[in-house]
Amino acid sequence: MNSEKLTGRNFWETYWETDTDKKKNKRPSLSVIEILNAFDRNLPPEHGLTVLEIGGAKGEYLLYLVKRFGYEGHSLDYSSAGNEQTKETFTKAGYKVQVYERDLFADNSDLPLFDIVFSLGFIEHFDEPLPVVESHLKLVKPGGILVLGVPNYSGIYKLVLKRLAPSMFTTHNLRIMDINTWTEFEKPLNLVTLFRSYIGGFEPLNMKKLENKTLFNRLIYFKIQVLTVLFSFRCRVLRKYNSAFISSYLIGIYRKRK
């Protein structure tokens, strides 16, 4: 079974070459905080384990795992611009990383198997997740761990984004943002579920995108900016609630059977 890419190499080269998100000491979104909490609660605290991030640019999550657990960091991405950002992230932090500039779907039989393989914001860029997840799993050692994360642009977010940024729906598979569909790859691949949930609560940042810059859309965007500030400082208690309609992120952590 093949899976059609909803984005291509040119898309990602342009994305990373034009990335302007360079702000220092920016406040992390609750989605990011909850992803890191899921790592802390579910990944083995064993120094020296090998971890591979697929679609690894800019390497910030990978760096967290290297620093937090003492893992040996590896990154696989076919974007040369993205890989340069990963190298820069690690160089600035004073840590080593092994970067593989290649396509996940190429012949990667020369690569080692890893204790942990993860991707965050990767599998939703394909129309069929099963072969994509299977390609992840081929790089996991027997008994190793696979982590998959996907942003949620369905539910309340879809209602806004289809007006403000309709192109989002040409590059993202919204069906996979229903966590109930994940059984379609979990069962065939015989994965052991360690953790699987919507996380992050309501996150206005998921809607902070603007393509159609009409006056009315600018007004909506301004209100989203206000909500982003409110939910960053004053409304965090509301963000502990999770559901398919309001949660900003989905994550699954699995063990590969031996």
Tell whether the model's pLDDT for residue 5 goes beyond 70.
Answer: no
Query: Which range has the worst mean pLDDT, 14-18, 56-60, 81-85?
Result: 14-18
pLDDT of 166 above 70? yes
Which of 22 and 249 is assigned the larger pLDDT?
A: 249
Residue 155 has pLDDT above 70, yes or no: yes
pLDDT tens per residue across span 46-64: 999 999 999 978 999 999 9
Q: Which long-range contacts (CB under 8 A, 24 or more apart) does 234-241 make?
A: 236/30, 238/201, 238/202, 239/30, 239/200, 239/201, 239/202, 239/203, 240/201, 241/201, 241/202
Domains along the sequence of the chain with CATH: 9-20+27-152+170-200+248-255 (3.40.50.150)
Does residue 15 carry a pLDDT above 50? no
Whole-model pTM above 0.85? yes
Whether residue 115 has pLDDT greater than 70? yes
**Is the four-CA dihedral 114, 43, 145, 4 of positive or negative sign?**
negative
Q: Does position 95 have pLDDT exceeding 50, yes or no? A: yes
Q: What is the pLDDT of residue 20?
A: 47
24 pLDDT more than 50: no
Confidence at 28, pLDDT banded by 50, 70, 90:
low
Averaged confidence pLDDT in the chain = 88
Q: 24-28, 112-116, 166-170 — which is least confidently predicted? A: 24-28
Q: pLDDT-based confidence at 234, cuts 50/70/90?
A: low
* Mean predicted confidence (pLDDT) in 92-99: 97
